[in-house]
Amino acid sequence: MYIVETVSWTAKTGVEAEQMIDAVEKMVPDLQKVPGFRYQSLSLKESIQGDNSEDASSQWLQLYYWDTVETAHNSNAIMAPTDSLNHLISLIEPDSIAIDIFTPLQQSSPLTVD
């Protein structure tokens, strides 16, 4: 099983979903060079019916899959100087970023990465 890193944040006011998706897509080639990187996905929080707040539509979650806890931690130093990560960070409210690393204890089936 791979280690799961979660990164959540709120987009700055006025940042469109397409801008965020594009920024993450441009970051993937840099991520693929990081030892231990396996896969990533980006998700946008769904608004709850009746929730018209802009905050609900700007909350993002990115999942990263790594070989080990160590490779997950080491990725931060490797990615920090990249233009792609710095561009993504420019779209995010800095105080909203939360990063956690989880060790899976159960899975329904193995993750297959193409």
Question: Cα–Cα distance between 30 and 83 in angstroms, integer?
Answer: 9
* Interval 12-51: pLDDT, tens: 999 999 999 999 999 999 999 999 999 999 999 986 655 5
pLDDT at 112: 72
pLDDT tens digits, 9-23: 999 999 999 999 999
Residues 1, 90: Cα–Cα separation, whole Å: 33
Q: State the pTM of this model.
A: 0.86
What pLDDT does 51 receive? 55
Give the pairing of strands 37-44 and 98-102. Answer: unpaired
What is the DSSP-derived secondary structure letter of residue 96?
G
Alpha carbon distance 17, 82 (integer Å): 22
Question: How far is residue 10 from each of residues 45, 62, 72, 88, 101, measured CA to CA in Å?
Answer: 10, 12, 22, 12, 19
